[in-house]
């Protein structure tokens, strides 16, 4: 099974500043057939379902603000929020879909400093 | 806009079977995979399994011996049965749609809390 590990577990960033969340997989999630990384990012707010932000490691879901971006390849990935807004307070999860069982990171709690 | 809504008992007794249904509206259940994902209190997300509209299933091996996911295309619904539950199965259960291009999840239900009591 592929284990996903996020860092840090929690993060406090000032409004307007950059937030960076890291995700590492226990093995490469680069799919050779299409040369894409099978890595997604979700935003999860209390009382709401998770919301898909990014897939294929760097493709933004329709409607997601462009301050959210994803990068990385192989085993190391990053979610960046370029200018933190108050509504971005949430827990963020990465998920690998390279192989079953599909697995999530433990989550990173993002707060306002 | 596709919408998903979970329904079922919020309280299940230990050793019994947890049963939930997800109703899909705003779109057809056909031609997609549909999934169950859960989140125990204070913990992360765990993928349980998914089913194609034709009935093909893939389960998480950690739960495979206790899980059955089924689909009813005539009602635009799919269901989860988890047997022999324990307190460790207490969680918010989400239904979700798998995207056509990869096994990530683009539409989610609101989630329903199921508590296993002794």
| CB atoms B111 and A49 under 8 Å | yes
Pairwise CA distance, residues A99 & B59, whole Å: 12
What pLDDT, on the 0 to 100 scale, is given for residue B2? 95
Pairing of strands A36-37, A103-104: unpaired
Contacts of residue B81, defined as CB under 8 A and 6 or more positions apart, other chains included, come to: B17, B18, B19, B67, B68, B69, B70
Chain-centre distance for alpha carbon B54: 17
Pairwise CA distance, residues A77 & A70, whole Å: 7
Q: Is the peptide bond before A8 cis (omega within 30 degrees of 0)?
A: yes
Mean pLDDT for back-to-back runs of 10 residues, chain A (113 residues): 97 98 98 95 95 98 97 98 98 97 97 97
Chains A and B: how many Cβ contacts under 8 Å?
A: 53
Q: Which residue of B has its CA nearest to A101?
A: B60
Q: Tell me the pLDDT tens digit for each residue of B36-61.
A: 999 999 999 999 999 999 999 999 99
Phi-psi region of A24 (alpha: psi -120 to 50; beta: other; left: phi over 0): beta
What pLDDT, on the 0 to 100 scale, is given for residue B118? 87
Interface of A with B in 58-77 (CB under 8 A): 61
Closest in A40, A49, A104 to B108, CB measured = A49
């Amino acid at each position: 099974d592929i284990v996903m590990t996020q860092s840090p577990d929690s993060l406090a960033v000032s409004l307007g500043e950059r937030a960076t969340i890291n995700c590492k997989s226990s093995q490469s999630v680069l799919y050779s057939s299409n040369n894409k990384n099978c890595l997604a990012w979700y935003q999860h707010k209390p009382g709401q379902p998770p919301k898909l932000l990014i897939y294929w490691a760097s493709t933004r879901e329709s409607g997601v603000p462009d301050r959210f971006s994803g990068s990385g390849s192989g085993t190391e990935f990053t979610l960046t929020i370029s200018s933190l807004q108050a509504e971005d307070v949430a827990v963020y999860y990465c998920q690998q879909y390279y192989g079953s069982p599909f697995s999530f990171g433990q989550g990173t709690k993002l707060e306002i400093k | 806009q596709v919408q998903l809504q979970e329904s079922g008992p919020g309280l299940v007794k230990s050793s019994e079977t947890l049963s939930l249904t997800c109703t899909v509206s705003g779109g057809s259940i056909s031609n997609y995979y549909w999934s169950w994902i859960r989140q125990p209190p204070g913990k992360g997300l765990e993928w349980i399994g998914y089913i194609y509209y034709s009935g093909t299933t893939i389960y998480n091996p950690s739960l495979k011996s206790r899980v059955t996911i089924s689909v009813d295309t005539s009602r635009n619904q799919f269901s989860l049965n988890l047997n022999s539950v324990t307190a460790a199965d207490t969680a918010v259960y989400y239904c979700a749609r798998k995207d056509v291009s990869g096994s990530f999840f683009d539409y989610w239900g609101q989630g329903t809390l199921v508590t296993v009591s002794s």
